[in-house]
Amino acid sequence: MNSEELSENIRKWSEELGFVAFGVVPYRLMTREIDRFENYLSLGYQAGMKYLEQNRNIRRDPSLLLPGLKSILCFLAPYRHGISPAQGMPSVASYALGLDYHPVIKGKLRKILSKIGEIYPDAKGRVFTDSAPVLEREWAAGAGLGFIGRNNFLISREHGLHTLIGVILLDIPIPYTKMTVKSGCGSCHRCIDACPTGALKGKGLLDSTRCISYQTIESKKDHLSEETRIDRKGWIFGCDICMQACPWTKTGERHCWDEFLPLKHPLLPEGVNSLSSVEWKSMGKDKFNEIFKESPLKRAGYEKIMDNLDANG
């Protein structure tokens, strides 16, 4: 099987597994991108995410993750379920209502990598999804899957914003996607105007110290200890405000993997997006850990979620 035939097979396998887009970009050093990343760090916008300050050499040169790297295969996983919390209920980001996307997407990428190995037994590859110092959005944009908007999302002209990126690093050449997607933001600043805390600064910059998503997930501080006190607008895990403001969010058909549909559990028959503040607070740590053991919410943990509820009053 030649490389063109392999590429078509990968596309077919990805569609069978539910990915809505696939593209390939050749390996290169990410010199321009890492310069922008260094500027972001110099401004202190990474806040308490010290891990972003590490492994800068890998972000610049992903071949350090896979010697002999030739091709970066990029895939988009859809999670546009169209379900939002009821009015006045605590809000959870739409990507986090179902199962944790990391093992779900990685599992499907490993199936593709295994199929590649059946044809090219000597091929070596690694799979990632927001799980290593890899500049995934830049690679996906380079592979023709979309453009990076002012809200810092990868935006697909066919599928909008409700997608998650999966990446396979491969040490064999695959025909590259010869397409660049022109930015579709134009003069629109709706995301920046909609951000209630001023976290979006434009030019690809986001001040995490003011970001609702950062404060409700990544920050190790309780809400009273945050250097920048912000109104979290009812969000207790993540934030969709800039996404909801973007005109591209309505692009494409409603399409969502079953794994990303709002989580249901015997202890939570109505679904996670139905919980009131009182129900969240009366849950207890053991029940929380049982319900959310395979959910993105486990990253924040019970104590953090309870503190986020307190922060919203």
Residues recognised as catalytic = 130
Between CA 172 and CA 174 the distance in angstroms is 6
Among all chains, which residue has been given the structure tokens 């091709």?
71
Residue 83 identity: I
Between CA 153 and CA 146 the distance in angstroms is 10
Q: What is the dihedral of CA 250, 254, 260, 264, to 10 degrees?
A: 110
Own/partner long-range contacts of 213-222 (Cβ < 8 Å, ≥24 apart): 213/93, 213/238, 213/239, 214/47, 214/49, 215/311, 216/300, 216/304, 216/308, 217/299, 217/300, 217/304, 218/47, 218/48, 218/49, 219/47, 219/48, 220/48, 221/48, 222/307
Instruction: Report the interhelical angle of 3-16 vs 101-119 (nearest 10°).
Output: 150
* Residues 238 and 216: beta-carbon distance below 8 Å: yes
